Amino acid sequence: MICIPITAGTKKEALHAIERSCQLADFIELRMDLIEDGSLAELISTARNSSSLIKIIVTCRKEEEATSARGAAGIKGAGKKTIDRKIAVLKEAIELGADFVDIELAEGRAVIKELQSFCAKHRRKTKIIVSYHNFKETPALTKLKEIFHQCAKAKPAIVKIVTFAKTAEDNLVTLSLISYARKHSPEIISLCMGDKGRISRAVAPLLGNYLSFATLEREGQSAPGQFTVYEMKQINELLRSKRAFPAGPVLSLPLRLQNYVLLGNPVKQSLSPLMHNAALKKMGIEENYSAFCVDDLGSALQGIRGMNIRGASVTIPFKVAVMEYLDDIDADALKIGAVNTIINENGRLTGYNTDWLGLILTLQEAMPVKNKTFLIVGAGGTARAAAYGIMKEGGFPVIANRTPEKGKILSGKLNCPFYPLAEIGKIKADCLINTTPVGMYPKDKSPVKAVTLSGYKYVMDVIYNPLKTKLLKDAEKQGCHIFSGLDMFVHQGAQQIRLWTGVEPPRALMKKVILKRLTQSE
């Protein structure tokens, strides 16, 4: 995973850098010792609005470090931050829901404890990074191990140890610390700064370093020796590529050995294994996505941890129930109230929802979403994902459902109108989306009467088997622009692979294999 530190000196530059970085990286680090006139609330909300997947680290470093970073990034000014000010900034970050705050070991156990207690008291999920930076040298490995244990004693989520490389051999010290630290509980970030330390930045991801730091622009380094995000991505892809290192023992570690599963009940009908295995094979990863029909969800998740399975798709009926078994839930999935994707980072399970994005990307390929009204038929998990995505993109959902109580609960949560299914004719909207299973193979049924469709320009069915449901056939006859659930299915699956591997999957191929299977069975 790649983190871009935001080192801009002014708020305006920082906001611009955040918007760009959120499209390129997995994490951003807000260097509040450098962004002098920045309101943390505005910086965090800009990041969240730029990407639902971005993780945010907030840091307020020592003056010595700020000076070094300012020098590298060409930033003038920025005053000295006292420890009280630093604690206040990090507490504000915790209140604002930053994913991580970084505090130096040198600030002392009491300060680290104070931040941990603040998280607990305010029931925030923000995690603590305890860091050690040495700008002069790389201490011997025995010394670094001691420092690691001092950091780990505070029970942070991540220990970060960054030293200055005076010689190429210093890289071996920080890299050795990674394998040592990985036998202990917190995640580790261990690398060398400086030109001679670049090797450690390139090799550390292979050994299990939690994060790589990279810059947006060549001149924006927050620490000497950083690669640009583009270079770091190329390095990561090279390290993952089987072609680059055919059978080396080192490369047997990451992608190649990863396994993925589908958890559901039933799963026999699912086309996810066909689609995901085709994509993984093309990406040079062995075909290792398997479907499991699950009876005991808790045990299944223990299995994922125990067998070090990298990722899981979750389908009916577990999308809501699975949430209680996870260590972390991404902000979008939390707001939707359903998880369809799990990432396993060394036993720590994080839940995501890719259904909403799959639906939005499908809609956006055919029509604008902003300022358009969407009638969503149904009030289940898919309806929630659809309504959330539509609102996030500036559209207006209207809910219609068979069971009024369930529909009203959803419309109440979203603060949008609700109509019983019987009164659907009264609604005026640009697009109708069916999120019920009505019309799924083998039943040729529609959840709405054909005459109702004449007022709609667009009609979408989330069902993809059959490709053209009765609803879509009726809509086509009424002159509506129609789209099936196929593209949504492919987009949500592609997003799952992106989350698990960090690599862009072959979406055209994924669509082709599903299309072939569905047209064969029609």
Contact residues toward ligand NAP (CB under 6 A) are 316, 355, 358, 378-383, 401-403, 406, 435-438, 440, 447, 462-464, 485, 488-489, 492
H-helix or E-strand spanning residue 234: helix 229-240
Shorter beta-carbon distance to ligand NAP: residue 34 or 460: 460
Catalytic site residue from 55, 62, 86, 319: 319
What's the min distance (Å) between Cβ of 460 and ligand NAP?
Answer: 10
Residue nearest to ligand NAP (CB): 380
Shorter beta-carbon distance to ligand NAP: residue 148 or 464: 464
Kindly provide the residue ranges of all beta strands, DSSP E only, lying in 199-298, ordered along the sequence: 212-215, 227-228, 260-264, 289-293
Angle at 208 between CA 207 and CA 214, to 5 degrees: 95
459 and 432 Cβ atoms separated by less than 8 Å: yes
Q: Is 457 among the residues known to form the active site? A: no
Please report how many Cα atoms fall inside a 13 Å half-sphere around the Cα of residue 32, on the Cβ side: 27
For the chain, the first-to-last Cα distance in angstroms comes to 42
Hey, what are 426's tokens?
Answer: 């009264």
Amino acid (one-letter) located at 391 = M
DSSP letters for 176-217: HHHHHHTTSSSEEEEEEESGGGHHHHHHHHHHT-S-EEEESS
What's the min distance (Å) between Cβ of 333 and ligand NAP?
Answer: 14
Shorter beta-carbon distance to ligand NAP: residue 180 or 441: 441
What's the DSSP call for residue 480? -
What's the min distance (Å) between Cβ of 242 and ligand NAP?
Answer: 30
Shorter beta-carbon distance to ligand NAP: residue 159 or 360: 360
H-helix or E-strand spanning residue 411: helix 404-414
Shorter beta-carbon distance to ligand NAP: residue 166 or 335: 335
Query: What does the alpha-carbon distance between residue 192 and residue 185 come to, in Å, rounded to a whole number?
Result: 22
Selection from 211, 233, 166, 239 nearest residue 56 by Cα: 211
What's the min distance (Å) between Cβ of 241 and ligand NAP?
Answer: 30
Shorter beta-carbon distance to ligand NAP: residue 21 or 436: 436
Backbone angles phi, psi at 212, to 5 degrees: -110, 140
Token pair 């002098």 in the structure block, residue = 36
What's the min distance (Å) between Cβ of 298 and ligand NAP?
Answer: 21
Shorter beta-carbon distance to ligand NAP: residue 44 or 438: 438
What's the min distance (Å) between Cβ of 445 and ligand NAP?
Answer: 8
What's the min distance (Å) between Cβ of 319 and ligand NAP?
Answer: 6
Kindly compute the dihedral angle of the four CA atoms of residues 260, 266, 269, 272, in this order, to the nearest 10 degrees.
Answer: -20
Query: What does the alpha-carbon distance between residue 515 and residue 183 come to, in Å, rounded to a whole number?
Result: 45
Token pair 């839930």 in the structure block, residue = 329
Question: Which are the catalytic amino acids?
Answer: 319
